[in-house]
Amino acid sequence: MRILKHRKTAKKRLSARHAENAKRLRLHVSKGDTVRVMRGEDRGKEGKIIRINLQTGRVVVEGVNIVKMHRKARTAEEQSGIREAPAPVHSSNLMLLDPKSGEPTRTKARFDTETSKVERRRTKERVSVKHGEPIPRVR
């Protein structure tokens, strides 16, 4: 195999680059969760998670970090203008809200100990650290 002289690919295989690009972060929140912003300009605001980017660890929350986007008309009928849309926030600045009390809480994982003979798989659930109540995943 010919060694490439370019800086990016010198002495590297393609598989190494793909493995590096395919890294995924594990986040404490998931799509559909209600969260509160703890740091930044929008501190104290609450909203529902719309989209998650696992490679960067950033999350788009409804009604948080609103930015103005300038849109040019692509066709003759379309109208150009300025629209507002939420921009991503880093997941470390968010806390999950407990559905029963409405307070921000940390989470921990707990395995269900009840296993029937038919279903031998243990199921993992998120548990609120403050109250010990399970937090259901919204899908």
pLDDT digits (tens, 9 = 90+) for 6-27: 666 555 555 566 676 677 888 8
Residue 117 in this model has a pLDDT that exceeds 60: no
Q: How many CB atoms lie within 10 A of CB 53?
A: 14
The answer as to whether 107 is a domain residue is: yes
pLDDT digits (tens, 9 = 90+) for 65-97: 999 999 999 999 999 999 999 999 999 999 999
pLDDT bucket at 47, cuts 50 / 70 / 90 = very high
The answer as to whether 17 is a domain residue is: no
Q: Which amino acid is at 41?
A: E
CATH number (domain holding residue 122): 2.30.30.30
Could you tell me if 66 and 87 are in contact, meaning their C-beta atoms sit under 8 angstroms apart? yes
The answer as to whether 8 is a domain residue is: no
Contacts of 18 (CB under 8 A, 6+ apart): none
Could you tell me if 109 and 129 are in contact, meaning their C-beta atoms sit under 8 angstroms apart? no
Residue 128 in this model has a pLDDT that exceeds 60: yes
Supply the pTM of this predicted model: 0.73
Two tokens at 98?
Answer: 């407990």
User: Total domain count for the chain?
Assistant: 1
Sheet with 34-37, side-by-side order of all strands? 89-90, 58-61, 46-53, 34-37, 94-97, 104-105
* pLDDT at residue 104, as a whole number: 94
The answer as to whether 3 is a domain residue is: no
The answer as to whether 96 is a domain residue is: yes
Domain hosting residue 98, numbered range: 23-135
The answer as to whether 115 is a domain residue is: yes
The answer as to whether 4 is a domain residue is: no
